Each structure stands twice: as structure tokens, then as C-alpha cells.
Structure 1
Amino acid sequence: MTETTPQQGRKILIVTAHPEPRSLNAALAAFAVEELRAAGHEVRVSDLYAMKWKAAVDADDYPDHPADERLRVMDASERATLAGRLSPDIVAEQEKLRWSDAVILQFPMWWFSAPAILKGWIDRVFTAGFGYGPNVPPPYGEGPLAGRRALVSVTIGARESAFSDRGIHGRLTDVLHPLQHGLFWFTGIAPLEPFAVYGSNDLPEERFAAAKREYRRRLDGLFTDEPVPFRSLVGGDYGRDMRLLPGVEEPGTSGLDLHVRPRG
């Protein structure tokens, strides 16, 4: 990684989700920590399995919620967030996000999504009043976490061709859309193109070495590579009904690609 001066150092939160500390995911997370710190950045790690993170949202997340009152999660989380009365583990993770300039999610793809423990981190940490809602800036570009960047680093057992445009699993871009667009961009975080290690169930040493070389390059560009150019909600491309206006897209564009501005 290119050397930086202390003045150039940034703050990066790495969130990892794998139950085995000797796993490929753990090795990639450790590699990222080493590379980023060597470049002069500050790094914090949330190892969700090591933390024994509670994945399920429930009333315990909001200590002041009356036991005899129906739990309306959005309303309860917003009241607790604005009052500073969330459970301590949620508060700690929100503080890490506020502290960070960039977030890296490191996880294995399980059933075309992130492991449940990581989804639970998202569900519990991105509360109303923190990640979304009427008391924070509008979503999709100007959200409350705007100014930050995000990188998904995912290991995948399948071959890369299966996640291509004609691959049976669908494009990786589409599979990760809920994270890239629905979590990061929704809250204002600018996501980079994902980094993926395919064929991860049996990765020989030479392929692991190649993966690290590519990952080093991606980490080096964490603050300089162009993010995915998702359209802003308030940029004039969408109507009041939050639908893309006719004719804004290039001819032939369809599906999720409608929400990405043409590059160049």
C-alpha cells in the first residue's frame, strides 16, 4: 500500500462475520488491518462472532420501552435513539460508525446474502433517528452518514462465471444491491465496487497470494477509487413518487441499472 503521512491518515471500521478465527475471512480481515495501519490509517474491528453479537431486534434494545406496550420497532428505536437510551452495545457500534471515514464489511456469502449475525448488526445498529427517518437528512445520497465510503469484501464458494451477466446465480452487482444501495447509499455512504474472492472453499496458496495482491490494490484505493455512481434522490432524476423520471436513463437500460448514472 502507498505510504501516507499521519495527516493523511483516515479512520476505518472493519466489521467481520465468520465463526472460525482461522478462516479465509479472518485472514483477509487481518490482512486489511495490517495494510491499512501500515499506510497510516486508524483501524477498529468489530468481530461479531468474537463479540457474541446479539443479532435479533427486540424490546431489550430500547430499555425505556414499556413492557405492556406494543413494540413498534421504528417508533421505539427512534425514541430511544433521540433520547440517548439505546442498549450499550448498539451505542458502541453507532459511535464506531460516527468515528469512521470508511466501513469495510468482511463476510462469506451464505444463501446469496450476508450471515445472519451481520444482518442483525445492520438491523440493530442502523436505528431510526440514526440511519434513517424524518429527523435525519433524506436518503440516497444525503443520508446521515454522508461523506463516508464503504467496501464490501466477500468470499464466495462458487466460480466467478456463475455470478456474471449470464451466470445462473445472477450478477454479483444485483445480489449485493441490498447492501450497496439499500444500506450504504440509503444512509449516504458511498459504496465502492465490491471485492470478491471466488472459489473460496478450496483456495490454493497461489490464488490466496493473488487475492491479497488484488485486495491490497483495492485497499490502496479506498479513498481514491470512484464509488458506484448511484443516482441521488434529490438530484432531479426522480419524481415526487420516488420513481425514476422517463428518459433519464440511456436507451436499453433496465432493472437495477436504472439507478446508476452512466459513467464517463
Structure 2
Amino acid sequence: MGKRIAVIVGHPDPDDNRYGRVLARTYAEAARRAGHEAREIDVGRLDFPLLRTRAEWNAPGALPDSLRAAQQDIGWADHLAIFFPLWMGTVPALLKGFFEQVLRPGFAIAATDDDARYHRLLAGKSARVVVTMGMAAPIYRWYFGAGGVRGLERNILAFCGIAPIRTTMIGMIANRNDSARKRALDRIRRYGTEGR
């Protein structure tokens, strides 16, 4: 039996030729061919405000209408496949703003009686994070410690209960030749086929 997969395209630029968008499409198409259900959430084409206060984040029923379908798709999914480019060492601001909006209390987390801990309401879901970047991936991972990506994994996804979280970093995007791009696409296609 196939998985239910939400493919989150986190590139703010809506240009379909962006390599990260090509990777996301490749993953979704391979997942569908293998018998999984895949729904795509294109963050770069959504219009929503950024949150500015804790009160806005906690407000019941305050999710913008433009994000209701995206939140429903995340709730429906067994697995999230998240694709984004590394910008200034971390997640693009638009994608971070998207997660702040959709992963609200009552949907992704719930306060416990002592208010110091939270129930993780998205437990049981897994994730694949695919990050493209201009630098070599080992330099980002080992020299810079991959802090921006680890923040997404630990402080957003795992905080909501998502596990396991697997990460794929694809570096040197501007300098990749056709053979290297094909190898990366083949790897992403395999992940989509396997639903992981």
C-alpha cells in the first residue's frame, strides 16, 4: 500500500526551471508512478502574511484562507518531502513564514498543563528534506555545521513530532554538469519511488 506524501516546494521563486523545483517534480512524479498519493504545496505561489506576534500565532481560527488546503494536506500526509534552496545559510524566509503559519497550536502542537512542554501532534509522520546550495554540501555540513537546516529539523519538524527526518544536500548547483544533475535527479527519483 502506498504512502500519502505532501511535497512542499519551498523555493520562493515561482520559475519552474529552478533546479529545486525540478527535483520536487521528479520526486512527486516518481512517487505517483510507484503507487503513492502525492499532493504538492507550492509555497512560492501562495499569498499569506507573516506573523509578527505570539498572539497572532496562538489565535484560534486565524490561519489565512490561502493556507487552509496546505495545512489539510500536511495533516493528511504520512510523509513530507520538503525542497528548498539554502539562502544565507538557512531556510528562505518565505518557507519559514509558511511553517510558522501552518504549524500552529492545535494543529502541530498542543500545550500541556504546565505550559512548559507541548504535545507533538504530528507524531507518526516522517520527512525528507532536500536542500540545494551554491557551495559544496560537505563544506556546509562540516565547516558551517549545517545550522540552518538543523534548525528546521530540530526546532520545527521534530518539535511537532515528525520523525524520522532524512536530509539530502545537493551542492554546487551553478557548477553541476549534466551528468552530476542527472545523478542527483536519479537519487531523488529513487526516494520518490520508495516514498522516503
- Report the TM-score when normalising by structure 2: 0.87
2:183 corresponds to: 210
1-structure distance, mates of 2:78, 2:40 = 14
Alignment of 1:99-248 (within 5 A): 99-134=76-111, 139=118, 143-165=120-142, 167=143, 170-172=144-146, 174-223=147-196
CA contact (8 A) 2:6 2:40 kept: yes
- Work out which structure has the larger RCO, using CA pairs closer than 8 Å and 6 or more positions apart in sequence: 2
What is the percent sequence identity of the aligned residues? 24
Structure 1 residue 90 corresponds to structure 2 residue 62: no
* 8 Å Cα contact 1:195/1:218 also seen in 2: no
Q: Is the 8 A contact 1:10 1:42 kept in 2?
A: yes
Q: Distance in 2 between matches of 1:86 and 1:50?
A: 17
Q: Report the CA distance between 1:123 and its aligned residue.
A: 1.3
CA 1:88–1:207: 2 relative to 1, 3 Å: same
Alpha-carbon RMSD across the aligned residues, in angstroms, is 2.2
1:14 equivalent to 2:7? Answer yes
The answer on 1:43 being equivalent to 2:38 is yes
Structure 1: runs of 5 or more not aligned:
1-7, 59-72, 224-264
* TM-score, scaled to structure 1: 0.66
Gaps of 5+ in 2: none
Which structure has more strand as a fraction of its residues? Answer: 2
3-state secondary structure, aligned to 1:111 = coil
User: Which structure features the higher share of helix residues?
Assistant: 2
- Residue equivalent to 1:256: none
Count, aligned residues: 191
**Amino acid aligned to 1:57:** L
Distance change >3 Å, CA 86–CA 216, structure 1 → 2: closer
Distance 2:154 2:195 in 1: 18
Q: Aligned partners of 1:125 and 1:216: how far apart in 2?
A: 27
* Conservation of the 8 A alpha-carbon contact between 2:20 and 2:85: yes
